[in-house]
Amino acid sequence: MERTSRTSARYIGIRGLMLWLLSTSVLVTLATCLVVAYGVMRDSLIHSALESHKAYAYKVASSIDQFIHSVHERLQYSSQLIGQDFTNRALVTSEAKRLQAQDSELQIVIIADASGNILDGYPHLDFAKTLKLGEAARRAASAGRPLVSQAFTSPDGHFSVFISNPIRDGQGNVLGLIGGVVNLREGGVMSILIGGHQLADAFAFVVDENLQVLYHPDPTRLGVVLDSSATAHAALRGGEGELEATDYRGIPMLAGYAEVKAAHWAVVTQQPREDALHPLRNLMHDTLLKLLPVSLFGLLLILAVSTWVTRPLRQLANSAQHVPELGASRELHALNAWYAEAAAIRSALVAGVQLLDLKISNLNHAAESDPLTGLVNRRGMNAALAILDQREQQYCALALDIDHFKRVNDTWGHDVGDVALQHIAGIIQSCSRAGDLACRAGGEEFCLLLPDTSLQVATDIAERIRTTIAASPLDQVGAMTISIGVAGRTSAEQTSAAILKCADERLYRAKDAGRNRVVSAG
């Protein structure tokens, strides 16, 4: 009896230990898979947000650039007209009035002599307004070139900048200048330009070359100098990009930046990292809901198997006590069924892991695909380039950019622009070969990777794509064209970054040469 009690106590301990070990294994596996899934989805969301902010900042900077160029062109026209008869005050006054009436963005139009002394303006300038604008006019006159001034408070009390253009006579001598005051506060041109490209859950601000805030959704931030803004510093160094940084309140931000080249300003768009990751909670919630039934089934199966294990253990104990008996061998042989049950448990657990692995694989596929065109996105393109670099494989890269694509969006709207992108992507895909990889690099930019392809063959493929697009007009939009730069690996040491840079440079030369062409050498 005492031996039986000891055996029974030992049996309970083994059963509890097995239940604890198997349950722990399931929970650890589930937790590991959830952590991996969380990391994949988090990185995908952050990457997507950074790409969106980079594109958003570039759009805003381009809009401001175009506005400044437009103002300079209108000012240049007026300066040429006035330069023909600078002493004609009636002409000067009428042109100032006409320019201010034509351009609602210009609050005040002034005309000054070569020393910056204000000669006339519209609306009418009293002595106080003339005095307040005099410093901006003198600085612009001393520059002797088209200029965007530093920010100042206008006579109307608005935070503004002064955009000016010199007035020259027929011999090119500077007679004076004509310029306009542009309001930067809420309701001004900045609000209109940036509000027209509003990105959900994000905001943009603009600083000048001295890091003084020219535009911010919080009016109290206007005029503040952002000495510690890493994104603004990066933008003022030139170019565009993306960055994870902390704002002045210590809040982690996902940011994109771009330079306004016409004025050497910086546009920064950013979003709290927490806001960008908010959809991750819903994704994890859905994942848990789908895994819960599988996990519950696994735990119930573990409990059943743990109970079932006790039976062969008792048979083993009885056989050990009755070794001479013939029945003991049959009982030991019967323990073979236990391994089949253990294998079934492992199969059930593997099925659960495979289900989560499939979700992770689908998430990875979604993270490397462009949802609009179905082409590989930049992340997938970088992965493919890494493989080509690792293998030191010969390949060529085509950098493709749709000509005048902004006109499509501005004229027919972004819905038609999306259709145009799908149209172009389909042609690129159809003109490529089985082993080629068509990618959407961002916006209206595409890339085609051609493994084991010579530069001449790549050029022929590029020309085929170009001619096919030119000959395939899109309903409502009409004929579209594309410019292409072609580059290939010339040595085993050449990196993919260098090849893409070369292709981009040739793309820009194609643009500069008139667009709708292929540049592959030189």
**Token digits of residue 196:** 């027209």
Query: Residue 427: what pLDDT?
Result: 93
| String of DSSP letters for 308-325 | HHHHHHHHHHHHHHTTTS
Query: Residue 455: what pLDDT?
Result: 92
- Which residues of the chain have a pLDDT value below 70? 1-18, 127-128, 131, 186-188, 195-200, 306-367, 522
Domain ranges of the chain: 2-42+282-366, 378-519
Q: Any idea which residue has 């790409």 for tokens?
A: 51
- Rounded to two decimals, the pTM is 0.50
Superfamily of domain 378-519: Reverse transcriptase/Diguanylate cyclase domain (3.30.70.270)
Q: Report yes or no: 418 and 408 within 8 Å, Cβ to Cβ.
A: no
Select from 202, 213, 149 the least CA-distant residue to 177.
149
Distances (CA, A) of 254 to 15, 82, 194, 269, 327: 52, 49, 18, 8, 73
Name 336's bridge partners: none
Nearest-angstrom CA–CA distance, 330 and 255: 72
Respond yes or no on whether the N-terminal peptide bond of residue 123 is cis (omega within 30° of 0): yes
Q: Any idea which residue has 């004076």 for tokens?
A: 176
Cβ-Cβ contacts under 8 Å for 331 (sequence gap 6 or more) = 315, 316, 318, 319
pLDDT in tens, 253-301: 888 889 888 888 888 888 888 888 877 777 777 877 877 787 777 777 7
The kind and range of the H/E element at 80 are: helix 2-83
